[in-house]
Structure 1
Amino acid sequence: MIKKILWATAVLVTMQSTSAAPLFNGRNFDGWELQTTPATTMDQVFSVLPQGVIASTGQPGGFLATTKSYANFKLHVEWRWSGKPGNGGVLLHISDGPMDRVWPLSLQVQTKHGSAGDLLPMAGAAFAEPLTSAPGAEPRIKGKIAADSELAIGQWNVADIVARDGTVEVSINGVVQNRVTAVKPAAGRIGFQLEGAPYELRNIELVEQP
């Protein structure tokens, strides 16, 4: 009987630790904060549409970020351009530290049209693999490793991101597009950039890993 109880407890703990949890509650922006230049309010930049879709004006420049930090996780994000496609990104491991213009210390997963899956170490962030951008060029970029897998304009794209012990792997619409190791910082908040183009988000889900 004791063995059965222990086994059932282990199964329950495993299920709890691997179940996906929405980062957005579908109603409001509790658990999130906005930083822009110039400063503005959340309701001027983001709105909640039916089915929990988040619509962003994409401006002014800045980012939306969770108030909680994460280290080891699987992140699922779906996005699409609601107007003319442009620039944007998912920010990982947002940490206290230097700012690059309005961008925080973080690792950016690029969602820019035509470049989805590129990785950018922002404001002093780093990883072990060499950059593909020219020496001294800004922004610093490690380009995607496969052919462009972004879907047609207006369709929902999917980014699946796995971060574990300083290693980050990125898949765009099921295609592995990048992988880096020894990422610094290796933990922090999660966010979304505002770079001028309106976009929509949905099904933002996170599974924390032990």
Structure 2
Amino acid sequence: MKYFITILCIAMTAFSCKKEKAVSLFNGQDLSGWHVDVPEMDTIPNTINPFIIRTGMLVSLGTPRGHLITDDVYKDYRLEVEYRFAGEPGNCGVLVHASTPRALYKMFPKSLEVQMQHEDAGDFWVIVEDIEVDNMVERRGPKKEWGITEGKKRRIINLTDGSEKPLGEWNTMIIECLKDKIKVWVNGDLVNHGFNATVTSGQIAIQAEGSEVEFRKIDISPITTLSK
């Protein structure tokens, strides 16, 4: 009986490890599993796709502006992203819990954005969804100006400065989404922790927002608890 219990425990541990194994969201060869939403591509002939695969990396060229969105919907996961600005520093972001396309400014899908903009990595931007953090007034501004649509204070400033690597070096961003909570780390620093999100699942999106950004890793794995 003791032998059976030992074998069962080993089997359960192995199953658990297998279940939690990270998988890559891009294959290094094409955009399988993703679709592009770039408004200019609807109306302007010969508009380029700003999302390409280059030497095994996913690259957001920055323009024309839009989003690369997963076909699948995800919840309760850990997303690990390794990225760097390929040239001039600028703006980009990872959107989690994305749903309705072009819900804001006829461009951004309904979602919660984790900012990658140089020197602001880890900020939250709410996009027709919302989330709370500690010290909300200090980090978002006067409450009467908060909102989730055009013209409102949608930015929630992160917790740290100086977490990003020097330009040209690779940054690691980890985003954990569990139920109505989101935690973000940049290069090992906890840079944001939100709760009471108005959405708990959705697609994942990468932005083209003006600057070229290279991604060498976008891995996802299921979680049941948030990391400390």
State TM-score, norm by structure 2. Answer: 0.84
Q: Which residue of 2 aligns with 1:179?
A: 193
AA in 2 matched with 1:192: I
The aligned counterpart of 2:12 is 10
C-alpha deviations, 1:119-169, integer Å up to 9, x for none? Answer: 1111x2111332623343645111011123111111111101111111100
What is aligned with 2:110?
105
> Which deviates the most, 2-11 or 136-145?
2-11
Q: Residue in 1 aligned with 2:166?
A: 152
Task: Select the structure of larger CA radius of gyration.
Answer: 2
The equivalent of 1:133 in structure 2 is 140
RMSD: 2.1
Q: Distance in 2 between matches of 1:140 and 1:9?
A: 47
1:149 is paired with a residue whose SS is coil
Question: 1:128·1:183 contact (CA, 8 Å) conserved in 2?
Answer: yes
Write the distance in 2 (CA, Å) between the matches of 1:76 and 1:176. 14
Whether 1:206 aligns to 2:213 is no
Moved over 6 A (4+): 40-43
User: CA–CA distance in 2 between the matches of 1:134 and 1:164?
Assistant: 26
- Aligned 1:56-75 pairs, distance under 5 A: 56-75=60-79
How has the CA–CA distance of structure 1 residues 39 and 139 changed in structure 2, closer, same or farther, with 3 Å as cutoff? farther
1:190 aligns with 2:195: no
Q: Is the 8 A contact 2:101 2:108 kept in 1?
A: no
Q: Residues 48 and 186 from structure 1, CA distance in 2 versus in 1: closer, same or farther, beyond 3 angstroms?
A: same
**CA distance in 2: counterparts of 1:189 and 1:65, whole angstroms:** 7
* SS at 2:79 equivalent: strand
Report the 3-state secondary structure (helix = DSSP H, G, I; strand = E; otherwise coil) of the residue aligned with 2:155.
Answer: coil
Q: Deviations over 1:73-119 (max 9, x none)?
A: 11100111111111110100102377102001111000011111101
**Distance between the aligned counterparts of 2:183 and 2:32, measured in 1?**
28
Q: Check if 1:119 corresponds to 2:124.
A: yes
Q: Which amino acid aligns with 1:187?
A: S
AA aligned opposite 1:146: T
SS in structure 2 at match of 1:100: coil
Alignment partners' CA distance in 2, 1:94 and 1:64? 11
Aligned to 1:161: 175
**Residues 92 and 211 in structure 2, CA contact (< 8 A), matched pair in contact too:** yes
Q: Which moved more, 1:183-192 or 1:40-49?
A: 40-49
Please state how far the C-alpha of 1:14 moved relative to its aligned partner: 0.3
Number of paired residues?
Answer: 208
Map of 1:26 onto structure 2 = 28
For structure 2, which runs of at least 5 residues remain unmatched after alignment?
Answer: 146-150
Q: Percent identity?
A: 29
The one-letter code matched in structure 1 to 2:109 is P
- The range that moved more, 163-172 or 96-105, is 96-105
